[in-house]
Amino acid sequence: MLHVVDDLLPTDLLGALRQLCLVHGELKQIHPGDALFSWRADDGRTMRSIHAPEQRQLMERYLNDHLLPVTNPFCTQRAGVEWWCNVNNDLDWHIDKDEIEGRRSGAYVLPLLSTVFYPHVSCAGGELLLADNPPIPTGHTGPLPQFRSVISIPPVRNRLVLFSPGLLHRINAFEGERYSVAVNIWAQEPLTTSASAPPV
Ligand SMILES: [Fe+2]
């Protein structure tokens, strides 16, 4: 499944999420990689994050008022969401997974759904490339699947992209500025956030 929604947010929230990406970029300079993945449980009680309360409240608004209403038809039994930001990074072929679990056991424990939103884009290139591989199941081990072709989704300011778990994807090389807010939806909290992010 691939689902694209344009003009998702009002202007004020768009600007705030652009700022959030910059704050995240600064935190990235001083914290180890795994601590940058925040967890927000659906029970309303747990938010593990190195971000300040102001930024966490901003994410609550983004999630409750905008993102989750769009994702609800695609995934039930959600325990919570893992979120992080990207500032001008490109990334080679990969499948979104529980990163710590992957390092410990080699298994691909998958989220229910991957989402990416672009609050600021001023670049050439930088498309999200999504392969047509048969989705791997959660718990997969061994080599990654083959694919024959890709779908290319240009990053566009105020665009949201949702896609199924188990699909290979990458970010095309680019020149310029490309900020994104990534939210993965989980049926259970991944080790990546439970084992690394500080409890709040
Ligand atoms: Fe990814």
User: Does residue 27 sit within a domain?
Assistant: yes
Measure 199 CA to ligand 1 centroid, in angstroms. Answer: 24
Strand order from edge to edge, sheet including 174-186: 2-6, 159-163, 113-125, 174-186, 80-87, 38-41, 47-48
Question: Residue 200 domain-assigned?
Answer: no
* 77 inside domain: yes
Residue 92 alpha carbon to ligand 1 centre in Å: 9
Domain presence at residue 199 = no
Q: Measure 126 CA to ligand 1 centroid, in angstroms.
A: 13
The one-digit pLDDT tens for each residue of the chain (200 residues) are 999 999 999 999 999 999 999 999 999 999 878 789 999 999 877 888 999 999 999 999 999 999 999 999 998 889 999 999 999 988 999 999 999 999 999 999 999 999 999 999 999 999 999 999 999 999 999 999 999 999 999 999 999 999 999 999 999 999 999 999 999 999 999 999 888 655 55
Q: What is the pLDDT of residue 47?
A: 83
Could you list the residue range(s) of the whole structural domain that residue 71 is in? 2-194
pTM across the whole model = 0.95
pLDDT (0 to 100) of residue 35: 82
Interior angle at CA 179, CA 154 and CA 146, nearest 5: 50
Instruction: Judge whether 180 and 117 are in contact, CB under 8 Å.
Output: yes
- What are the CA-CA distances from residue 74 to residues 2, 3, 8, 88 (Å)? 11, 10, 17, 29
Nearest to 67 by CA among 127, 1, 3, 9: 9
Q: Which residues surround ligand 1, an ion (CB under 5 A)?
A: 96
Query: Residue 36 domain-assigned?
Result: yes
Q: Is residue 20 in a domain?
A: yes
CA of 75 to the centre of ligand 1 (A): 18
Neighbour-count burial of 5, counting CB atoms closer than 10 A to its CB (0-12 exposed, 13-18 middle, 19+ buried): middle
Residue 84: inside a domain: yes
Q: State how far Cα 139 lies from the chain centre.
A: 20
**Domain with 136 in it: what CATH number?**
2.60.120.620
Q: How far, in Å, is the centroid of ligand 1 from the Cα of 170?
A: 7
Query: Looking at the 3D structure of the chain, how many domains does it have?
Result: 1
Indicate the length of the chain as a whole number: 200
